[in-house]
Chains A and B, each alone.
Chain A
Amino acid sequence: QKEVEQNSGPLSVPEGAIASLNCTYSDRGSQSFFWYRQYSGKSPELIMFIYSNGDKEDGRFTAQLNKASQYVSLLIRDSQPSDSATYLCAVNQGGKLIFGQGTELSVKP
């Protein structure tokens, strides 16, 4: 079992829709969780982090964490073509990030 799992996609949504990206992790002791956006050929960019159960909102982005289910998600509201990228879920274990394989999101105009 992989430590951090994501659906590789591609996930295709129409412009203006909500994109939902999901991630599960295996280490119950994990305390902090991150979402990075990575455009093709570029480096990862931190867009959200969450430490507590529940929802955390920042603009069009909402991160959701459920530690009991070992599940973290990212919702992107009003998706734009510029949101088309690979989204990496990362879990902090002992100060090191364990990355999922990433979900490729495509937002169609």
Chain B
Amino acid sequence: DAMVIQNPRYQVTQFGKPVTLSCSQTLNHNVMYWYQQKSSQAPKLLFHYYDKDFNNEADTPDNFQSRRPNTSFCFLDIRSPGLGDAAMYLCATSVSGNEQFFGPGTRLTVL
């Protein structure tokens, strides 16, 4: 089945220790998104790739970076996680900005 896969599903890191979250997709969608979602809040868009073009949201902290080495994979790097970065991180894909399909998410805990 075509799908969006995120690894790991649960990630525990220490304050200030870099962490990388990964997303892969078999849908062959050209747009990939990263969202941050905290408890009882709406998903917050961090950035997205439209094909190879990177689009950063204005309020995304510099601590968050992303890479998309090919169509299928996208990575979220958090360079120095703080306690406030504990959240669910959601990857989503779409065809040219239409309906978005979400992966299962990675729950990040910062100790």
Across the interface, which residues of B come within 8 angstroms of A49, CB to CB? 99
- A6-B86 Cα distance, complex, nearest whole Å: 25
Whether A44 lies near B90 (C-beta < 8 A) is: yes
B98: CB under 8 A from chain A?
yes
Q: How large is the interface on A (under 10, 10 to 19, 20 to 34, 35 or more residues)?
A: 20 to 34
Q: How large is the interface on B (under 10, 10 to 19, 20 to 34, 35 or more residues)?
A: 20 to 34
CB A74 to nearest CB in B, in angstroms, measures: 15
Across the interface, which residues of B come within 8 angstroms of A95, CB to CB? 31, 50, 94, 96-97
- Contact A43 to B103, CB < 8 A, known contacts A32-B98, A95-B31, A95-B50: yes
Residues on B lying within 8 angstroms of A by beta carbon are 31, 41-43, 45, 48, 50, 88, 90, 94, 96-105, 107
Sampled A-B contacts (10; CB under 8 Å):
A42-B104, A43-B105, A44-B43, A49-B99, A95-B50, A95-B94, A100-B42, A101-B41, A101-B42, A102-B42
